[in-house]
């Protein structure tokens, strides 16, 4: 399976925008969170909650095609998805590394998809992504090489506004 060619500038723009949007939102949820947004190969954001003595991880994804105001349930155009589904690429190394951690030691890990303007997100527990069926979808960047995706039911996700008042 061949994937789209990595574009460092696009990645930096998307990653920086996502971090800039989510860190203040997380701190509003809990001002005591200790947030590490230094990139590593397990997750984009690591969060420690000193009150509960636990940590959790976020994998950030920027989906520029999601442009609707409040409805996250119409934003993933996927030729093989039903109305209540969206797709996630299977080749994400962070998801694969998370699976290798023994189940009793796996941290809370959430797949976070940002709207084009970073003002809204769809959050899905990674376990729900991994448990989803896989489908091969035609690759729009290389017609001869399809890609594999998880087909995730949207009922496993929650929509949040990133706007802070």
Domain with 29 in it: what CATH number?
3.40.1350
Per-residue confidence (pLDDT) for residue 38, from 0 to 100: 85
Percentage with pLDDT > 70 across the chain: 87
59 inside domain: yes
State the Cα–Cα distance between residues 55 and 34, nearest whole angstrom.
9
- Whether the Cβ atoms of residue 163 and residue 119 lie closer than 8 Å to each other: yes
pLDDT surpassing 60 at residue 74: no
- Position 61 in a domain: yes
User: Within 10 A of 97 (CB to CB), how many other CB atoms are there?
Assistant: 14
Which stretch of 59-73, 78-92, 107-121 has the lowest confidence by average pLDDT? Answer: 59-73
Residue 1 lies in a domain: no
Is 3 within a domain?
Answer: no
Neighbours of 153 (CB within 10 A): 16
Q: Answer yes or no: is 54 within a domain.
A: yes
Identify the band that residue 84 occupies on the pLDDT scale cut at 50, 70 and 90: confident
**Burial code of 117-132, b = ≥16 C-beta within 10 A, e = fewer?**
ebebbbebebbbbbeb
13 sits in which H/E element: helix 8-29
Which residue segment(s) compose the domain that 81 sits in? Answer: 8-161
What is the C-alpha to C-alpha distance for residues 39 and 19, in angstroms, rounded to an integer? Answer: 10
Higher-scoring residue by pLDDT: 6, 32: 32
- Number of structural domains, the chain? 1
Is 114 inside a domain boundary?
A: yes
| Residue 88 domain flag | yes
Measured CA to CA, the distance from residue 103 to residue 44 in angstroms comes to 21
Please report whether residue 51 resides in a domain: yes
- pLDDT on residue 107: 80
């Amino acid at each position: 399976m061949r994937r789209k060619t990595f574009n460092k500038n696009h990645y930096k723009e998307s990653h920086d925008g996502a971090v800039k949007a989510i860190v203040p939102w997380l701190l509003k949820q809990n001002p005591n969170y200790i947030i590490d947004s230094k990139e590593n190969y397990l997750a984009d954001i690591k969060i420690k909650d000193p009150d509960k003595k636990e940590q959790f991880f976020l994998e950030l994804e920027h989906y520029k095609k999601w442009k609707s105001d409040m409805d996250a349930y119409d934003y993933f155009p996927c030729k093989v998805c039903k109305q209540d589904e969206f797709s996630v690429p299977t080749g994400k190394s962070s998801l694969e590394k998370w699976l290798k951690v023994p189940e009793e030691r796996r941290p809370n890990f959430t797949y976070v998809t940002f709207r084009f303007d970073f003002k809204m997100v769809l959050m899905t527990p990674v376990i729900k992504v991994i448990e989803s069926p896989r489908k091969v979808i035609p690759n729009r960047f290389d017609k001869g090489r399809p890609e594999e995706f998880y087909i995730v039911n949207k009922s496993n996700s929650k929509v949040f506004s990133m706007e802070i008042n």
